[in-house]
Structure 1
């Protein structure tokens, strides 16, 4: 039966579960990065309460939508450019390094997992990465500094790809945009093969990403949920914890003795 663990109990239970697991997987959401000064999306004052998301089809169809998308992007980047990995990011990187974690599936686009030392081979970015841009037609990569320079020089006009004329977009997945097939397949494989699945800072309401904990549970994995608010998956978990994720994972951020 699921129980709600206090901080000390959550740390003890996680330690025991990691000791027993052979193939543990972490699933991270926006709640992991709030400690780093990056607000989440759905809570009061979150990003979605301030700006309605721009659908992918609108981005493709209307230059005004592309202009607004880049205006918002650069405003957020300016506000959160100093964000550094938190204790949760550091702990997960350490667990990977020690072989106690097989991989990380993330809904986050902030690049903080990589900044904490997580290699690309161990990370599945379901919703893309907001630290660079790509052409939607030819796939060419562009650094954000390049896009910003041209955006500002044109008075807030989004640049097109010089190579093919296609729309340039941050390398993230927008509403209405197809999920990345390769990353979805990698996430499914990790979820099917794991024996411990730990959710960290996700409300588990955005599908298809939110389906991976259920895949893991149906394949016999033990499920743990660390999230401020209740989720629909709480009844299927070994335990849930409402404490700050950085506090819960702080002991795992230190090298094993």
Structure 2
């Protein structure tokens, strides 16, 4: 944990082949007990045993014990896929697998700041498809909100830019949007940096205009952290305060391939339990060049991997905690509110359009009469 954190967003590189990695794991697993002692400081895999069982049931009992009061959630794109938003790296359905229509030199270019400044069109075309307000929060989002309502949520650290955590009811103080947000936008010129609202940006995006600054005519970009940009300062200040106090880390819907977000898993204490809810085991290479999750899950005393969709995993945990009916009712109630609001807005837009049409007809008739 003493290694300095990189301050820019980047994907962790894969430095060896899958065959070599497999051989490496086969060699290293028999020596896990030895390595646990040897690397206790750098890997954080030794400490007091907290969970009585390395299962979802064991995590539930720990939460119910009263000893768990500061839960941190780390979430990625996988918590929003059931809302209809694609994740990034699924082979056939992921975002990066379906960007051919934008003629990118490589998929990640759409989120590269240098490429964006030269070719902003692909990003804004994608933004129209993924823009906040088109999707409803998932069961997983509302489970995090339920943790807040129960007084158990310390903070939610999110890689997502879809703002669904906010729609589900998390406030700014509950949320660290590590990779930025659509909620605000700024001019990209360092000499200007004029700020624009979400409503202003929405009008520009859905009118097929490339957003330009009204003061200096430079590009205006939503406050999303592109590859090559600094993460928000609040990410680093909150991280330093939150993670030493964490007594349960819940990781959901992320491949843990992007730094420095992925390195947060090593920021909790050596005894803090860590629960992964994901379709597959996650974690690439740690800041110490060690495949932490794949090793820890072999002989761990605090790490639990629940392999399922994020929604199913949250429902299963809520059921064990006796919260399932409350969670399902929350999802139903909040979705009905969102649907009702959408219908009301649609009716208002139709009324405005009808009024404009009638005004136009009246003016046309007046002109003919004259």
Shorter-chain TM-score range = 0.7 to 0.9
Say whether 1:231 aligns with 2:285.
no
Paired residue for 1:142?
197
Paired residue for 2:218?
166
Instruction: Mark the CA change 1:215 to 1:165 in structure 2 (over 3 Å): closer, same or farther.
Output: same
Residue pair 2:201, 2:211 contacting (<8 A) in 1 also: yes
Name the SS for the 2:259 alignment partner: coil
CA shift at 1:187, angstroms?
2.8
Residue pair 1:94, 1:254 contacting (<8 A) in 2 also: no
Name the SS for the 1:82 alignment partner: coil
**Number of equivalenced pairs:** 240
Paired residue for 2:127?
73
TM-score, normalization by structure 1: 0.83
Residue pair 1:90, 1:253 contacting (<8 A) in 2 also: no
Residue pair 1:94, 1:253 contacting (<8 A) in 2 also: no
* C-alpha distance in structure 1 between counterparts of 2:179 and 2:129, whole Å: 20
Say whether 1:31 aligns with 2:88.
no
Q: Which runs of 5+ in 2 are unaligned?
A: 1-31, 33-44, 46-54, 100-106, 284-292, 297-301, 328-370
| Higher radius of gyration, 1 or 2 | 2
CA shift at 1:159, angstroms?
2.5
Write the mapping of 1:212-231 to structure 2, written as runs, cut at 5 A.
212-218=264-270, 220-231=271-282
* C-alpha distance in structure 2 between counterparts of 1:152 and 1:119, whole Å: 27
* C-alpha distance in structure 2 between counterparts of 1:67 and 1:125, whole Å: 24
Residue pair 2:130, 2:162 contacting (<8 A) in 1 also: no
Paired residue for 1:5?
none
* C-alpha distance in structure 1 between counterparts of 2:263 and 2:121, whole Å: 33
Paired residue for 2:169?
117
Instruction: Mark the CA change 1:142 to 1:163 in structure 2 (over 3 Å): closer, same or farther.
Output: farther
CA shift at 1:214, angstroms?
1.2
Counterpart of 1:59 (choices 99, 111, 116) is 116
Paired residue for 1:96?
148
* C-alpha distance in structure 1 between counterparts of 2:215 and 2:295, whole Å: 51
Which structure is higher in RCO with an 8 Å CA cutoff and minimum separation 6? 1
Instruction: Mark the CA change 1:127 to 1:16 in structure 2 (over 3 Å): closer, same or farther.
Output: same
Paired residue for 1:17?
62
Of residues 130-139 and 115-124 in structure 1, the stretch that sits farther from structure 2 once superposed is 130-139
Say whether 1:84 aligns with 2:136.
yes
Residue pair 1:224, 1:238 contacting (<8 A) in 2 also: yes
Instruction: Mark the CA change 1:210 to 1:188 in structure 2 (over 3 Å): closer, same or farther.
Output: farther
Cα RMSD, aligned residues only: 2.5
